[in-house]
Amino acid sequence: MQNDMKSTIQAAVAEEVGKAMGRQLELLEKIAQFLGIEPGPTRVASAPKGTPVPAPVPAPVPAPARKRPSSVPVRKRVRPQAAPKPAKAGPAPQKSRGRPRGAGRAATVAATSPSPETPVPYEEGQEVRYKQGRGAFTAKVKAVDAKAKTVTMERVSDGKQVVRPFDKVTPA
């Protein structure tokens, strides 16, 4: 009797779901036909375990899917080609705020590169100050490399030799 009651309830639920979901099922079947997928009985994956799964609703037998004749071309989405933009005579308008991308690099290169006639800014034995980390130290120049733009110094406080670029060293 319990089995009989259970199957009766399942049939009633399946019928109601079929009525409520009829339009959606029709649309899904049409989509499946269009995509070339055979509609078949599928199991409900989201139902929790132990819950009775309603019996599959017999779907109306669809007409055999019509195949498109090979003479009908398949439309593919094509991006329209953009016409080449004419060259502008003046500079491009600046869209972003702040300084231009290359402005910082160009300014530092121009400022740090001494001209060929300019003598080396530091001499051996000259007392200088340099920055390293959070501190500033006093040192005596031991050697100057004009090509690499570095100064080799000996710290006055502990005698340690340090190599620093020109821009980190200032005359004392």
DSSP 20-43: HTHHHHHHHHHHHHHHTPPP----
Q: Could you report the per-residue pLDDT of 47-89, keeping only the tens digit for each?
A: 555 555 555 555 555 555 666 666 666 677 777 776 666 666 6
Considering its fold, how many domains does the chain have in total?
2
| Element containing residue 18 per DSSP (H, E) | helix 2-20
Could you tell me the residue range of the domain that residue 3 belongs to? 1-67
Does residue 1 have a pLDDT over 70?
Answer: no
89 or 14, greater pLDDT: 14
Domain limit, last residue, from 21, 39, 67 = 67
Sequence-distant (≥ 6) Cβ neighbours of residue 153 within 8 angstroms: 128, 130, 139, 140, 141, 142, 161, 162, 163, 164, 169
Domain limit, last residue, from 67, 87, 105 = 67
Cα(88)–Cα(102) distance, integer angstroms: 21
Has residue 37 been placed in a domain? yes
Domain limit, last residue, from 20, 44, 67 = 67
Position 68 scores a pLDDT of 60
Does residue 29 have a pLDDT over 60?
Answer: yes
Position 142 scores a pLDDT of 95
